[in-house]
Amino acid sequence: MPVRPSRLRPRVRPHRSRAVVVLVRGQGDGLEVFWALRSDAVSYMPGFRSFVGGTVDPEDAALPIDGTPAGPERELMACALREAFEEAGVLVGV
């Protein structure tokens, strides 16, 4: 049975903006990087170590971040900050 060209095309998925935050502290030989260990209870990649991050929520656009005008950059920053708190309990601040 010949393969139809429609089956050769990759599936197109809608674009969803995502952000990740890499938390580091120290410097030189004392540099530390924070990784999260995914729970064994999650369906996707349980037990995997990863950086903290996720998908942008519509509410992320409302978070005011000093020095950053409204738009996609601020939404990504807000998403990264929110995910750091939600996933790891880390409150990023100045």
pLDDT digits (tens, 9 = 90+) for 51-93: 999 999 999 999 988 888 899 999 999 999 999 999 899 998 7
Q: What is the pLDDT of residue 2?
A: 61
Reading the block at residue 46, the tokens are: 């349980």
pTM of this structure: 0.74
Which residues neighbour 83 within 8 Å (Cβ) at sequence distance 6 or greater? 19, 20, 21, 52, 53, 54
What percent of the residues of the chain are helix, what percent strand, and what percent coil, each to the nearest 5?
30, 15, 50
Residue 24 has pLDDT above 80, yes or no: yes
Confidence of residue 7 (pLDDT cuts 50, 70, 90): low
